[in-house]
Structure 1
Amino acid sequence: MSHTAEWKVRLHLFEEAGTTKARVVLDTGSTSLTGRGTAHRNPADMDVPEIGDELAAGRALHDLAGQLVDAATHDIEAMGASEPGQVYGPAVGWSI
């Protein structure tokens, strides 16, 4: 069985007073999922916006990835298949 799909992803970044927030929206055409992530700059650190962008975006994508795996697990279970082992675990050091 051949299958081709195109999903659209939009990543939004917002920075204010040392805090960067990211929102990533996945549009599959039939559903939409939103991941969120935040990064806080220590006041003693240099102000490098790209670092906050990278951390917040990475955390938002991590959140989205977890939602996708949860959705797939739910779909597998709904089809009567046995529960799969843990496919996706949390990354060490990232608080969400």
Structure 2
Amino acid sequence: MSQVAGWHVEVEFDENDHRTRSAAMLRLRDGTELRSRAHATRHPSDPNEARIGEEFAGARALKELAEQLEAKGQREVDALHTRPPK
């Protein structure tokens, strides 16, 4: 029997003339919340396209969340292997 699961992800942006900051949060089924921050800086000669800065800053924040999630999973697997057998 399959089980349907879901995670909640939020990404917010704060932009000024040359810099886009992002904050990301991932809420897991076990109640854990993982958070990250990242930024992207626009070169002065590049056109002022906010969505491009969002894409770079958002991708970097999500990449950090992915790394945190992988580390969490590895800690949980390690904990299962260090338990004494029943």
Fold-level similarity (TM above 0.5): yes
- Give runs of aligned pairs for residues 67-86 of structure 1, distance below 5 A: 67-80=68-81
RMSD: 1.6
Q: Give per-residue Cα distances to partners, 1:41-89, cap 9 Å, x unaligned.
A: 11122211111010000101101000000100111111117xxxxxxxx
- Report percent identity of matched pairs: 33
Task: Name the structure with the higher helix share.
Answer: 2
Q: How many residues align?
A: 81
Q: Unpaired runs of 5+ in structure 1? A: 82-96
Unaligned segments of structure 2, at least 5 residues: none
The aligned counterpart of 2:5 is 5
Is 1:47 the counterpart of 2:48 in the alignment?
A: yes
Using the size of structure 2 for normalisation, the TM-score is 0.83
TM-score by length of 1: 0.75
Superposed counterparts of 1:56-95, under 5 Å: 56-80=57-81
